[in-house]
Amino acid sequence: MSGNTFGLLYCVTSFGESHGPAYGGVVDGCPPGLELSEGDIQKELDRRKPGQSRHVTQRQESDRIEVLSGIFEGKTTGTAIGFVIRNEDQRSKDYSALADTFRPGHADYTYWQKYGLRDYRGGGRASARETMIRVAAGAIAKKWLRERYGVQVRGYLAQVGRTSIPFESWDAVDANPFFAPNAAMVAQLEKQMDELRESGDSCGARVNVVASGVPVGWGEPVYGRLDADIAAAMMGINAVKGVAIGAGLGATVASLWEWQWA
Amino acid sequence: MSGNTFGLLYCVTSFGESHGPAYGGVVDGCPPGLELSEGDIQKELDRRKPGQSRHVTQRQESDRIEVLSGIFEGKTTGTAIGFVIRNEDQRSKDYSALADTFRPGHADYTYWQKYGLRDYRGGGRASARETMIRVAAGAIAKKWLRERYGVQVRGYLAQVGRTSIPFESWDAVDANPFFAPNAAMVAQLEKQMDELRESGDSCGARVNVVASGVPVGWGEPVYGRLDADIAAAMMGINAVKGVAIGAGLGATVASLWEWQWA
Amino acid sequence: MSGNTFGLLYCVTSFGESHGPAYGGVVDGCPPGLELSEGDIQKELDRRKPGQSRHVTQRQESDRIEVLSGIFEGKTTGTAIGFVIRNEDQRSKDYSALADTFRPGHADYTYWQKYGLRDYRGGGRASARETMIRVAAGAIAKKWLRERYGVQVRGYLAQVGRTSIPFESWDAVDANPFFAPNAAMVAQLEKQMDELRESGDSCGARVNVVASGVPVGWGEPVYGRLDADIAAAMMGINAVKGVAIGAGLGATVASLWEWQWA
Amino acid sequence: MSGNTFGLLYCVTSFGESHGPAYGGVVDGCPPGLELSEGDIQKELDRRKPGQSRHVTQRQESDRIEVLSGIFEGKTTGTAIGFVIRNEDQRSKDYSALADTFRPGHADYTYWQKYGLRDYRGGGRASARETMIRVAAGAIAKKWLRERYGVQVRGYLAQVGRTSIPFESWDAVDANPFFAPNAAMVAQLEKQMDELRESGDSCGARVNVVASGVPVGWGEPVYGRLDADIAAAMMGINAVKGVAIGAGLGATVASLWEWQWA
């Protein structure tokens, strides 16, 4: 409830820092009787894993999950599912130069102001490595939703900087390092990303997520409606600055070039 | 926790339907010692009140708040602040034709599917009249934040359909029925809204909210960061389909005309 | 979450002070389709009402509940059930002498230390009148549990001071002002209470509550097991200092006369 | 929120089964800047450890804690403290005979009814080994409370079956395997326990916990008062059937021999 737990009935708690011994999480509220193995979760973690192309962080990690509870004889038992993912490539010496410097746009400064001290090792708790826990907890949820309700949740890269990526097929998504749903765009994206990195800059991006087969009536009115829960979950991800649902901001039918303070 | 309560330390619970006897709310966690009167809250409710121009719903309501607890001798006591706002213009007969019809885009159908029955009187719990409770709870929070921390929270209409509204001044905001921050735009907005209503259509809009003086470090890492809480609160408001913070979606530096499914 | 809300799925929020305008509450999470009238709740409130015998507080209150939401056409709708109970006998002048005095064993001093100010009117928020909200919320829950699951929840006075009251019949319980399950004990209880009041003293008592027909498996392991939820709810009631379940403290098979610090 | 998380600001989440790979927990909300080592926690776990006398379970476990996050350079950082405790003595074959048998008074049957399957290995999630997590989380809390507020929390065995144990000194408590505060009683307790084990029976006991130096005003009125939180925490412990605070049940000044249903 102090920020590291999310959800009410399917409830995820997370811990871990970028250069501590391990990340870990607890999924509380997973229904019993779901067939579940570490492999089911590992498959999704592998998609997230760093070091798989030159376009992502080069940190070397196997991101190997170990499930410590909640599964017995290949099925969930209804009890809390605890798991850990060890950090292997801790190289915390690499970050020692940062002990006296704040990186612009990073949460280092905020943590320092809030807590009066600072874990300068690669972002500490604010590192995007924490999204491993969301991926693991999401993998379990996705399996349950698919098997129990036929709900399918999928995502893809829809835009990078000014470049929109037209949707071609779901098959294309896993066939390139950008998760772009359009094979014809990949060469352009590689070029754009290489130029960006050479320029020492970064840019924003847009990700589309599609959930299909969702029954009518999920979520709770009024403050807990599904849109609100999703918005909170998305905006809690590092670097996410906006979220829209359905027609979303296109509902204004207007140029959003000027989406800044007036 | 079943959807009608929001917040952890400053915690708001809401009830009421469009054509029931009353709306009401409970603010739990307001610090003691805040000078507070019904007038402080009423002032904000009056800004929200229907029937004040031809551009909003013509329902006649005084939206008069009655505070029932939590204030003693002009100050908050630290105990829960309960309040009610009576519905005066209930005219539920007006809605009888809707008993057999679902309005497109309204939550009627969802409630019916979720709960197996339907309150067809003007949207029932899904009516935007519920935002009164958020306004009242927000009025108390804003007063505390301003007096205790110097934080100021203000908003204005930034876009209607394709029409962007350049920010001129905060003074302009309260001088027109649109809360537009630009007097020169008002005539155009009136024309646009009149045409829209005559065409029997509606359109999207964008509202900008600016909080100034916010200290570094508010919010809880990682799932409860301030962005996430704000996103949930905003997306819980009727008809809100997107929310962005800071540079927001402008961070993609790209045309967002195509902000729809690919 | 700041103390005035209890429960997760069936969630009760409470407000009100002894001499403010009204008490009120919100029941969130009551299932839809339950036949429910104000009379169903009033019936239980009437059992709790003061001034019904010389053995309880003589304050005159009708404790009339007004339900403001969540019921439509005689049935619960699934939305939050808000209600208020007006204070009629406020006589706050009667308490003015207490403005400079703390009553031993009352929470006045605690509130004053915690919040820095004090509502000296009859105990303010700490008044046992707040149990009205629990009675009202409990009345709704009891009706649902009985109709949906056949669960019956009943209670009686089992001991007053040193006097144990042997259980005779449930019928006896409502036939005397003590809710004693034994008609033959009533005269003795009246005498004991009269003597106690004349002596200017008070004493402890024990209440037994029996829930029958409860299905196996309710409650959540491990911190939220049913025993724990019940214990919290009971110990949150004014003046309750101990709670036991099942064989309870009798499990020690020992004299508990010395149930004090060793 | 589904039962394995306890607390609001200092929030503990727990996982693990008696014969799974490990137990673990997450403490969220520990203030930053507390000097904390694994040794601080291990010290308390060692007091709880099985196999230290013939009077407790003979399972051999080192109950070694490994802290995985939330501490940097010897101090808490304000982020979630995750930890694991490996099970070493899993011997799950020993329990295979139980796969077709329910032990009286154990939660096996409840789990089976609730979740539709059963982890028969030594009680699974219902094993009292789970109290390790409470001990670990409590060790951190106790250290903070002592250093920051001077609050001291201590406990001792006050009664076993019919045998009351008069309090002599805190020094005595750690000098015998029963945590009895009275050296002169130890021989009698050993004899009583040996006889009890030989008879194949068990008995109840009473533990007294004393918190000294607690400031006025902790806890939240009204449902979240400190008594209620403590009662929930205590009753959530395996086998605890009753809890009392202050004068407690002694307030009835009466024989409680008959503390059963009337």
Q: How far apart are CA D53 and CA D56, in angstroms?
A: 6
Tokens read off for C255: 């004299």
Average pLDDT score over residue span B232-255: 76
CB atoms within 10 A of CB D145: 18
- In this complex, the chains that touch D, judged by 3 or more CB pairs closer than 8 A, are A, B, C
Which residue of chain B is at minimal alpha-carbon distance from A237? B223
Query: Mutate which of A13, A28, A87 to disrupt the D interface (most D C-beta within 10 Å)?
Result: A13
Beta bridge partners, C154, equal C210
Q: What is the pLDDT of residue A154?
A: 96
pLDDT-derived band of residue A248, with 50, 70 and 90 as boundaries? low
Residue D85's φ and ψ, nearest 5 degrees, are: -135, 110
> What is chain C's mean pLDDT, rounded?
89
Tokens 């005159």 correspond to C60
Cα(C83)–Cα(C66) distance, integer angstroms? 5
Q: What is the largest CA-CA distance in chain C?
A: 59
- Joined together, the tokens standing for residue B40 give 């402080």
Kindly report the backbone phi and psi dihedral angles of residue A242, in degrees, each rounded to the nearest multiple of 5, phi listed first.
Answer: -160, 155
B55-106 per-position pLDDT tens digit: 888 888 899 999 999 999 999 999 999 999 999 976 655 666 667 788 777 8
Kindly state the tokens that stand for B89.
């213009």
With contact defined as beta carbons under 8 Å apart, do D2 and A9 qualify? yes
Spatial separation of the C-alpha atoms in residues B184 and B175, rounded to whole Å: 11
- Percent of the residues in chain C that have a pLDDT greater than 70, as a whole number: 90
Q: Which of D62, D120, D118, D65 is nearest to D94 (CA)?
A: D120
CB atoms within 10 A of CB B205: 17
Q: Is the pLDDT of residue D143 over 70?
A: yes
Q: In angstroms, rounded to a whole number, what is the distance separating the alpha carbons of residues A35 and A25? A: 19
Partner residue opposite D28 with nearest CB, options A3, A22, A66: A3
Strand order in the sheet with B5-6: B5-6, B11-16, B22-28, B81-86, B65-67
Query: pLDDT-based confidence at D53, cuts 50/70/90?
Result: confident
Q: pLDDT tens, A24-41?
A: 999 999 999 999 999 999
pLDDT at C185: 97
The chains in contact with chain C, meaning 3 or more Cβ pairs closer than 8 Å, are A, B, D
**Torsion angle of C-alpha atoms B168, B169, B171, B172, degrees rounded to 10:** 20
Q: How many helices (H) and strands (E) does chain B have?
A: 6, 11
Cβ–Cβ below 8 Å for B206 and A252: yes
Mutation choice for B interface testing from A243, A253, A260 by most B CBs within 10 A? A243
Task: Please tell me the pTM assigned to this model.
Answer: 0.94
Question: Which residues of chain C lie closer than 8 angstroms to D167, CB-CB?
Answer: 261-262
Which of A8, A79, A221 faces C79 most closely, judged by CB atoms?
A221
Q: Cis peptide leading into C151, omega within 30 of 0?
A: no
Go through chain A and tell me how many residues it has.
262
Tokens of D93: 């074959």
Question: For residue B96, what pLDDT is reported?
Answer: 67
Q: Which residues of A touch C (CB under 8 A)?
A: 1, 8, 79, 221
On whether the CB atoms of residues C31 and C76 are closer than 8 A, the answer is: yes
User: How does pLDDT run across C47-102, given as a tens digit for each residue?
Assistant: 998 888 888 888 888 999 999 999 999 999 999 999 999 999 766 556 666 677 88
CB within 8 Å: A79 and C221: yes
In the predicted model, what is the mean pLDDT of chain A?
89
* DSSP label at residue D148: I
Average pLDDT over residues D98-119: 83
Residues of D in contact with A66 (CB under 8 A): 21
Q: Which of the 8 DSSP states describes residue B86?
A: E
List, in sequence order, the alpha helices (H) in C145-225: 170-173, 186-198
Contacts of A11 in chain D (CB under 8 A): 1-2, 5
Q: What average pLDDT does the segment B109-134 reach?
A: 89
Q: What is the pLDDT of residues D209-254, one digit of tens each?
A: 999 999 999 999 999 999 999 999 999 999 898 898 876 656 554 3
Helix (H) or strand (E) holding D230: helix D226-235
**Nearest one of C33, C32, C7, C139 to C85, comparing CA atoms:** C139
> With 70 as the cut, is the pLDDT of residue A230 above it?
yes
pLDDT of residue D58: 80
- Mutate one of D5, D13, D112 to test the A interface: name it (highest A CB count within 10 A): D13
C73 to chain D, minimum CA–CA distance in Å? 32
Per-residue model confidence as pLDDT tens digits over C132-146 = 999 999 999 999 999
**Could you tell me which chain B residue has the CA closest to the CA of C119?**
B72
Tell me the C-alpha distance between B49 and B59, whole Å: 9
Assign residue D213 a region (left: φ > 0; alpha: ψ between -120 and 50; beta: otherwise).
Answer: left
Q: Contact C32/C76 with Cβ under 8 angstroms?
A: yes
CA distance to partner chain B, nearest, from residue A59 (Å): 22
Looking at chain B, which residue has its C-alpha nearest residue A250? B259
β-pair partners for D85? D23, D65
Q: Which residue has the higher pLDDT, C255 or D114?
A: D114
Token pair 């603010």 is at which residue?
B27
